[in-house]
Each structure stands twice: as C-alpha cells, then as structure tokens.
Structure 1
C-alpha cells in the first residue's frame, strides 16, 4: 500500500510539472495575436518575427543589449570603399532536415524577397544591394543583382552605396536563407503549417494549432545547440487581456504582456517588468480620402488630442508623449554621440483645441464639406488599444464635435484592411527593424511596401534616397533631421506617443531580454530555474 501511495504521489508530481514545463524544459510565452505570416520573405508583423526568431537564423543574429553578432556566418570582410561585403559561412551548418546550409541558400532567399511575383512588402529592405530595386521593379534580370556565390561557404554582396549597418541588416528576417528543394516541394503552403517549415535556427516548429498555440522543440542540427538551454518553447495565442492574465496567475504561461490598467495591481511586484519597446504609435491617415488629404484637417485632428493626458491618464505614465517619430533611447546616435532625437529642432504639433477647431473649419471649406464626414478608425482589439482609441474618440468629440466610429478587430483583419487601403484612419504603431533612424524614417516613402496611407512627397523620397546612398554621417544626419521636419509639418501620420510595455515574468525564467530593435525578445540567454 505504501509503495502505491508513493507511486501515485510521483505520478501527480510529474503531471503537475508537465502542465507548465515545471521540469525546467518548457518555456511558455503568450503571443497576443496570431501571426500575419511567418514566411521570412513575406512576414512584416512583430508576432511573425517572434516566431521567426526561433526557427530562422541569418548570416548575423541578435546579441545582448541590442547588439548583432555572428550567426550562420562566422566572419565577414568589408572593402575599403564599403561597397563589397564578403560573408564566410561556418563549417558544417545544416537545415533541420540535415541538408547543408550554403551560400546559395542565402541567394535563393534574397532573390525570392526581391522577385516581383513574391510581392514582399519588405522587398525594399534589400534595396541597398546593387540592382536589387531595379530587379524588384522589373528593370533588370536577377543575374544583374549584386549577390555572388563564390563557393558553398562564401557569399559576396555588392552594394549600391556604403551601408555602415549592413551587418545588422542581414540579421533581419527578410534576409533569411531558403532551401530551394524544400520550397519547391511545399509550394504555396511554405511556412503556413508546422510541417511546412524548415529551420535554420535554434528551434524547429513541431505543432501549430492556428489561433491557439505554436509548439517548438530544440533543433539538434543547429550549429550552436550546445548553448541552447531550454528544450521546448510554447507560444500560447491569448488575445484577451483578462484571459492572458489568468493564464499567468494559473502558471499556464511564464510570460505575458499586460495592459496599463492591469499593471496598477503589480506596482512594486518583482514579477512585473516595464520596458521601452522602441515603438511609436500614431494616427495613420488614408490620403485617398479627400478630407484627410487636406493638411489643415490632419493638423486639426492631431492638435485636438492631448497626448500628455493620454500618457498620464490612460497609460498611467507608461510611455512618452511623442515629439518626433523616432523614439528616444534605442541606441540611435547623432554626430555628437547623443540620442538622435536630441538633435531634431522640430517637434510635432502640440495640443491646442482652439486652433484645431479653426483649422478644421478652414480645411473642410477647402475640400467643399460643411461638416466633417462620417469616418471610422481601425484598431487592434488587444492590449491597451481599446482604451486609447476611446480616449481619442472622446477628445475629437469634445474638442471638434466629431463623431468618430471605432472598429476594433483582430490584428490579421487590420493588416489586411491597411494593405488594401480600405480605411479612413488607423490607430497603428511601428517598431524599428535595425539600429538606424532610417528604419523609422523611410516608412512613408512613396514606393515603400509599408506606406499604407499612400502618402507621397518627392522631397521626402529624395531625402530617404540621400540617407541610403552615403555613409557620410554628416550628410546622413542632416537628411534624417529634415525627414523628421517633414513628418512634423506635413503629417503623413499624427504621431502620438512612444510606448513603454509591461510584462509579467515568472521567477523561474532567467536570461530573457526585451529588445527595442529587430523584434520584441532576445532568447539567446534564456534558461529556466
């Protein structure tokens, strides 16, 4: 009888440990939305990137504290003029199916991202490569693109102009390698299901229950597997704020983000971490809407919103009312080594409801409207978005007598509506992809894949080209500052705030970092107590 009791006790302990990986082998993270896409050459959203962080690795990879370190390339050389980069791949690196990873795989992936038929919104990320933009716009053939396979372990890349941050750029998901044989086999289902993914990274995807969870397992073929300390990772997809908090309290997830309101209950609690996540949030205007295409109308909408009140009263002080598009404190430095934003003399319009009312009347008259037409604002239904949108709605009602309709929806639907230009206004945000101010400031380039509002300004486009066409820091910084000035004066978007995000982290989780650039998390030092 005693033996039976002991065996039952051991069984119960094993089951309870298995529920949340209490054995120290499984880490569980709440992903608040289903990824839009995890296909490396197509993915644009943060959630898709959080998946790709596990199953893909490029020539370089994210390191600690926002740095970039060798990945599948052990080293690289740069020519004296900065136009030619040569990457040397590690010995014996393999895909998760055992196939060797070669320089050709990188050429395959990069050309696929640039192929017009792929319709990648992030194709412009590869435009620094010689003739890449021309190929993407069908002006030259793929053979003219400056990507050369010297041998299986050596990739040579020729650039249009010097790009001092190119070694961090190749860590971005659009630059991931592609196994052509696997891609041809999976076809249109490539990276849409667990068994349609192939890993070059630290983990393989074992299971994907859409809308529910994604399960990952340590990749034994990963070159640095010896330093991967966690055997299994599970992403739970829990969009509802209360449900995700309950899942954390019930030890069903180890990490979840929480709303500013929920954070009140954890003030001073060591489980809560608050981090600047490198994102800027704004009102995205559709310039195909004749009313919103009027500058005075856009100015009126922004000036009617008290951004300080939004941060202090709605977000409980978490975040900063934005004066520039580029956030502070994310490692982007000016010529004097100070934060880039400190050198920007212009600032987005301040709160002034009296002037806003005057500008709105003038703008409506210019477009032939007697009243502000009926409009809607799209927003994600997760996180703080709903209370922020309601605050904006009330500010516009109170200060401009505008009745703005709110359309909460899933992230998937919002992305779809934005890409189709099917909206009036969107409450949207943007996080930087690599450590340079242009990762924010090229967002509204006329031909850019993420210019969802259809803003067009030849001067803006020319300045973006200048920034990307030289490594002269004085020339680059002057142009970047001018870009901030155009955004402040011309308002392709109405900049609202820079976000500070709150997370709950179980005490057994060690080494997890929260990154403001190139994704939300750094898993390189992750371990479980």
Structure 2
C-alpha cells in the first residue's frame, strides 16, 4: 500500500529509499509547465534504492507498498494520482454518477494501449476486478477493498455467487459501468489504488503462474515499463513511448537497487551512485544541517500486532501491559530520530478532519495509550494470575534490515521489563514476513498501515471479524456493528459517520487493546537538488514519478 496504501506497510519499508515529495520541487501551477522545463542537457535518469525485493507485481495479489509503488509507475487505472496526491484522469477520461450514487459510468480514452500494442478496454477492467475478487485467486486486497463497496463482491468472494454477478460491466469497449452496494463518495480515489488496475486477459492466461514474476511477464499501460528485474538485486523501469500521455514523461529511466543497510545506501549517495537515500538515526545528526537533508511526515502508523490465537495474548490484561510498557517517546527520539512521532492511537494525525468542525481526528480522540511501566506491570501481574503462569515466551516477528533490527532490539528490551516475559525476535526478509503474517505465524509483529483512500474507513475497517488484513483473531460484534453502521445507514450523514469512527477507535485501542500503537512515520532523507517535480501521495504509491525530471546535473 496509503495505500495504500496500500496497502500492508512493513517496518522494512523504513529502508525504502524513495524520493521526498515536497523536497525542493519547484512550485508552479501545472505539472505540464514544470515537466516541460526539463534540462535537455541533463541525463534523464533517476537512481534509487529500496530496502526489500518486490514480492510480486500481480495487482490481484500485492499487499505491500513496494509493489504498489512500481505498479503505480507502470500502470494506469481508471484514475491515477497526480499533483498534490489528487486523482487525475488515467484510462478514464471522465465519469458520471447516478442520482442515487450507486451507478458509476466511466468513459475510457481510446488512445491507451498495452505495451504489446493491444488497446486498453473496459473488458480489461471487468476481467481484472473479477479475477481479484475470485476466491480461487486468493487475493487479500480484493475482498478487503471491494466487499461492501462493489455490488455482490462479498457474495462472490465467498463463493456464493458467480463472478459475473459482480457489479461491473463493459457496456462497450470504452464504457465501463460499476454498480456499488451503497453510496461511496470516495470511490473515485479508490479507483487509483492498485487493486483496481486493469489486466490483459490473454496475456495473463498465456503467462500462467509466471505472470507478474519477471520483467518479461508484465504488460504496462502506464508511464514506464519494467525492462529488467534481477530478483534480490533490483529492477529498472524505462519510459513507455507508447503511453497515451508520453509527452508529459521526461525521465527516460529509473534504476532501483535493493540495499538493506543504511551505511551502504549513504555511501552510494555520497559517491553519486544513487540520487536519494533514507537516513537511520545514527546518520540524522551528521546530515541535519546539510542543504540536501529533508524530513517528511506520512499518514502511516506502526504498531505491535498481537495474535489473539496465542493463549497469553488472548488475555486482555496481557495486551494492555504490552501497550503500556514501551517508551514511545524515547523510541522516536533515540532509535528512529527521523521526525517520526509517538502514535496516540491508530488514526494518524493530519489525515482526516471532522466534516462539521474541521478538527483533526487525532486531536479529537487524543492519546488513547498511556506509557507507564508501573501500570503495565499491574496489568501483566493480573494476566499471569488469570493465566496461571509465572513466565512466558513470545515470538516477535520483525524485519531483516539494519534499521528494523535496531528498533526490534529496543522493543524486545522494553517488553522484557514485564516480569517473567522473554521475547524471541525472528528477523526475516520482507517477502517472508508477508507470508507469515497471512498465515498468522507470529505472536507479536511489528506492523504498519498506510491509507488506501482518504477516509477513516481505510484504517478502521481493517479489524472487522475475519477481515482479509485483520490476521489477529480479533472479533467483536460491537466493533463490527460500528463499522457497518458507518458504511450503511450513516453513509450520507458525514458528521454522525465521523463520530462513529471516533467511537470505534476508542473501542479498538482503549477497551479491547487489539494493537499497541508505536509511532507515526516520518522519513529523514538526503536527495540531490537536481531532482524536480516528484509528488508524494497520501495513499497508494508513495510517489508519482510521471512528471519528474532532472535539471542541472
């Protein structure tokens, strides 16, 4: 993934060496004006690093921010993210919505083609959306994004109805009709998310199991084409000359290397082999006064996810003890040292505001977590009494990057302040973490979430019973009813709907202690001043490179 956003954001992504958005890009009124000023004497190539490999480029199966980034760079959906993170036309030229808000009709452009020369049609969207919701595909994001939104999606995803019952229809080659279960005002922004990208059915079926796992098993209809993919080492995307909006694309090539430790990435930056690098805490003070140093706050929250199928973590007092024992301020000041802030709850600050008062969600609910070792010990004592134990060992699933391991070591020490608790840290590659999370093969996991669209629902509907990305064993009729109410009877009552989400977060964090909030992420970075016009996104792909260019290198 937001977010994406997603969508799933692992702590490994702290090492995603991507470009800062507002970092030095020159401000003008239009992307076209900015990109047209590209310096013809400068080589239009960008060199980046990522902290992990892309698990898959199959938009039906992706659940991580790295894949989301490069899907968003190589494919256009109905809409895409443009300047200031706002939606702009992609394959859809425009759309209209019925008076009841249920039927959305998208008029598609006729000059968009796949990189094999085939036209992009409404049938490509019908096929892709049906494939993603098909229970045989095994998509996590399909049901998560479509159920309760697209008509009959839930019944189709559960095998109760056939694929053609899904509320999608190709009226003709260039008219795509979507019928919703309920009015969804933010649906346009959802269509820019990776789950809703089109697919060329003939190509997908020809490639079979190899589809989207190699560069030559991919088709592009976006600004760039993936031309190389050396698994574990990196990948390259190049300008798509057949892209319908190719005149606006100035970069000729983006090369990405997988680099897991900060020192190596910084060395590559200092020797001008890469153009951007993230900084871990030990490098921030060194570079803080450097004119190429930037920080960027994100609407992404990290937390400890607790598996309630574990006997110890099924105990409410045990979960509350874990919530309270971590010194989050020291964690962000000393361990991260990159501008991240302690998370007061699950909803990030500066993301959504009350539709009537304009007040920020986080300000209204305030901090729902108390950092107190003494109170944590009290809850832990009660938990041990109720469980009839004196000692306990829990497995902690973390990442294998240098930054992840430093943070996980800190959290291990914090958790082991609870008398009799020992933590076994299991540091694994990003792809393995995704698999283990899906299989609930963990006790505690360092986990993050960013938005998939601009609405509180993108965070709070994660925890409904049997939700595709819940994976904690948490189930609450009260919580489910609040989320359902917000999405149905209150869908057209924005004030009451917002209040319901506020109540749901309090239930999730204060009452049921489902997760232990840690921090809202920020990035400390170095980036070269010759990189212009890259836009940060609040959801989906972290950055838009479509209008980027190199000037003065």
Q: Is the 8 A contact 1:258 1:383 kept in 2?
A: no
From 277, 280, 295, give the equivalent of 1:274: 295
Q: Is the 8 A contact 2:354 2:498 kept in 1?
A: no
**CA distance 1:309–1:401, shift in 2 (3 Å):** farther
Say which is worse superposed, 480-489 or 187-196, in terms of deviation.
480-489
2:24 aligns with none
Looking at structure 2, the residues matched to 380 and 316 of structure 1 have their Cα atoms a distance apart, in angstroms, of: 19
Looking at structure 2, the residues matched to 23 and 65 of structure 1 have their Cα atoms a distance apart, in angstroms, of: 25
Q: Is the 8 A contact 1:59 1:73 kept in 2?
A: yes
Q: Give 1:487 deviation, angstroms.
A: 1.7
Q: Do structure 1's residue 321 and structure 2's residue 305 form an aligned pair?
A: no
Name stretches of at least 5 consecutive residues in structure 1 with no aligned partner. 1-20
From 295, 303, 319, give the equivalent of 2:316: 295
From 494, 499, 519, give the equivalent of 2:521: 499
Q: Is the 8 A contact 2:92 2:107 kept in 1?
A: yes
From 543, 548, 552, give the equivalent of 1:521: 543
Q: Give 1:399 deviation, angstroms.
A: 5.1
Q: Do structure 1's residue 260 and structure 2's residue 258 form an aligned pair?
A: no
1:103-138: per-residue Cα shift (whole Å, max 9, x none)? 110011000110000110101202201101110011
Q: Give 1:287 deviation, angstroms.
A: 0.8
Looking at structure 2, the residues matched to 355 and 257 of structure 1 have their Cα atoms a distance apart, in angstroms, of: 36
Output aligned runs, 1:438-449, within 5 Å: 438-449=457-468
Q: Give 1:170 deviation, angstroms.
A: 0.6
Looking at structure 2, the residues matched to 475 and 109 of structure 1 have their Cα atoms a distance apart, in angstroms, of: 35
Question: TM-score with structure 2 length normalisation?
Answer: 0.89
Looking at structure 1, the residues matched to 157 and 171 of structure 2 have their Cα atoms a distance apart, in angstroms, of: 23
1:40-80: per-residue Cα shift (whole Å, max 9, x none)? 11101011111111111100000222211111101011112
Q: Do structure 1's residue 464 and structure 2's residue 464 form an aligned pair?
A: no
Cα RMSD, aligned residues only: 1.7
Q: Give 1:385 deviation, angstroms.
A: 2.1
1:475 aligns with 496
Looking at structure 1, the residues matched to 338 and 330 of structure 2 have their Cα atoms a distance apart, in angstroms, of: 9
Q: Do structure 1's residue 353 and structure 2's residue 382 form an aligned pair?
A: no
Q: Is the 8 A contact 1:30 1:257 kept in 2?
A: no
Q: Which has the higher contact order (CA 8 A, sep 6+)?
A: 2
- SS of the residue corresponding to residue 434 of structure 2 reads helix
Q: Is the 8 A contact 1:104 1:152 kept in 2?
A: yes
1:455 aligns with 474
Output aligned runs, 1:101-180, within 5 Å: 101-123=120-142, 124-127=144-147, 128-180=149-201
Q: Is the 8 A contact 1:334 1:340 kept in 2?
A: no
Q: Give 1:484 deviation, angstroms.
A: 0.7
1:366 aligns with 386
Output aligned runs, 1:4-19, within 5 Å: none
2:396 aligns with 377
Name stretches of at least 5 consecutive residues in structure 2 with no aligned partner. 1-39
1:244 aligns with 265
Larger radius of gyration: 1
Q: Is the 8 A contact 2:301 2:521 kept in 1?
A: yes
Q: Give 1:401 deviation, angstroms.
A: 5.0
Moved over 6 A (4+): none
Looking at structure 2, the residues matched to 92 and 380 of structure 1 have their Cα atoms a distance apart, in angstroms, of: 43
Looking at structure 2, the residues matched to 146 and 526 of structure 1 have their Cα atoms a distance apart, in angstroms, of: 37
- SS of the residue corresponding to residue 398 of structure 1 reads coil
- SS of the residue corresponding to residue 369 of structure 1 reads coil
Q: Give 1:447 deviation, angstroms.
A: 2.0
Looking at structure 1, the residues matched to 352 and 89 of structure 2 have their Cα atoms a distance apart, in angstroms, of: 20
Q: Is the 8 A contact 2:482 2:504 kept in 1?
A: yes
- SS of the residue corresponding to residue 384 of structure 1 reads helix
1:310-369: per-residue Cα shift (whole Å, max 9, x none)? 122222362111112111113555432232222326x32201211211111111121221
Q: Give 1:383 deviation, angstroms.
A: 5.7
